Amino acid sequence: MKSNRIFILSLLGALSGISVHAAAPAPKLNVLFIVADDLRTSLGCYGDPQVKSPNIDRLAAKGVRFDRAYCQYPVCNSSRTSFLTGLRPDTTRIYGNDVPFRTLHPEVVTLPQLFKSSGYFSASLGKIIHAGVDQTGRRVPHQDARSFDDCRSGAATALGKTGEGRNLTGGLLKWCSWLAAEGADEDQPDGQSAAEAVKLIEAHHHQPFFVAVGFHKPHDPFNAPKKYFDQYPLENIQLAQEPHDRSAELPMALPNAQGFAAFTDRERKEFRRAYFAGISFTDAQVGKLLDTLDRLKLWDNTVVVMMGDHGYHLGEHGWWNKVTVFELCARTPLIVWAPGLNGMGRPANGLVEFVDIFSTVAELCGLPSPAKQDGATFRALLADPALPGKSAAYTQVRRGEKMGRSVRTDRWRYTEWDEGRDGIELYDHTTDAFEYFNLASQPQHAATLKTLAAQLRSAPRATR
């Protein structure tokens, strides 16, 4: 009897040991979070034949390339505030670049803040949180002590400010200039950010880290080392070709023309060339980060997100900037590597929104999202990219005190300006990928208009 009791106790102890071992928490996954400023889908992996982006392309081949990912607001501060908080612009009330988000939301938890509070080393290199001007007129830098243990942003050296270039508007628009700069990558802020990010990953890869790297390019001014301009001979640059019978633009669809109509073909080509050079420069910096993951063997325990903050026009619709709700501005690259999920190496065509990124990354790493989130995780698409994704994606932009709201479904884009009082747009993406033919006035689409108008009005709005 006694021997049986001893045996049972021994067995229970062994089982207890097994149970304790099985319940041991899995190692925390790192996060490498890469954002390129003003980056549209002009990448090799998205089918652009002109742009050289071998490093982003290899990440897309390794992870999941989302072919229909949409920002919620096509302006840097508004978009970044949305995807860094998991809240829509109508929740954050950030509708431009002038107000730092902490001015309105000192209590909101950002994605990097969630990781920092969970014991991760959290760092920001370059531009992740948007700089701005607070209510006293003081400039607020790209920093947030709640979100980051370490936050840095570089500056071009004297050599990096030297080279061939010009302003494409004769000085009318100070931002609209390019520079094929002398010096190496690290004479530019983005080269410095990449180098510092490599050092931080090397120093902290034995503990869980959230390292966010924000590259300024291809954002204006279009400055990059000369070797990246040399990849794009001016005579090889192809311009956007618009159909001669396209619909007239609604007055609210574009901001003021800003002198772009005065561009010659040479200036148009120089603009596109400089933007492409900025992409290739950023791509080279991304390559340095990916090489670091290779060298330190970190792919098996690191989630990687590569994205733009919104899209951009390069002459389409006669526009050379952002701040529209056309597909070119609302859609932007999103590539995710998630170790251990079966969808890696396959593209996803389902609709996703940038507001979903917060909850997705948190779920991948086993962290709880804040209770009030406007996004929904798309982890399922990382496991099976063939899944359909969302039924709709929503993007908005303000013109003065009036709002334009747009809904993108599998087939259609439907847009209302000031709830339709200043115009309605309807584009059929089965035949019109660049949205040149507005079908809103055609009687045969009346039922579609009614359905999409209802869907737009049922869009998720403020939750706080």
Determine the 3-state secondary structure of 362 from DSSP. Answer: helix
Respond yes or no: is residue 76 known to be catalytic. yes
Cα distance between residue 260 and residue 339, in whole Å: 45
Cα distance between residue 230 and residue 228, in whole Å: 5
Of 45, 71, 105, 130, catalytic: 130
Of 45, 76, 151, 329, catalytic: 76
Determine the 3-state secondary structure of 212 from DSSP. Answer: strand
Beta bridge partners of 164: 180
Respond yes or no: is residue 130 known to be catalytic. yes
Cα distance between residue 460 and residue 371, in whole Å: 16
Determine the 3-state secondary structure of 437 from DSSP. Answer: coil
Cα distance between residue 248 and residue 58, in whole Å: 40
Angle at 200 between CA 196 and CA 205, to 5 degrees: 150
From the centroid of its chain, how far is CA 362?
A: 17
Cα distance between residue 335 and residue 343, in whole Å: 12
Cα distance between residue 12 and residue 9, in whole Å: 5
In angstroms, what CA-CA distances link 438 with 181, 185, 314, 334?
42, 44, 20, 28
Which positions are annotated as active-site residues?
Answer: 76, 130
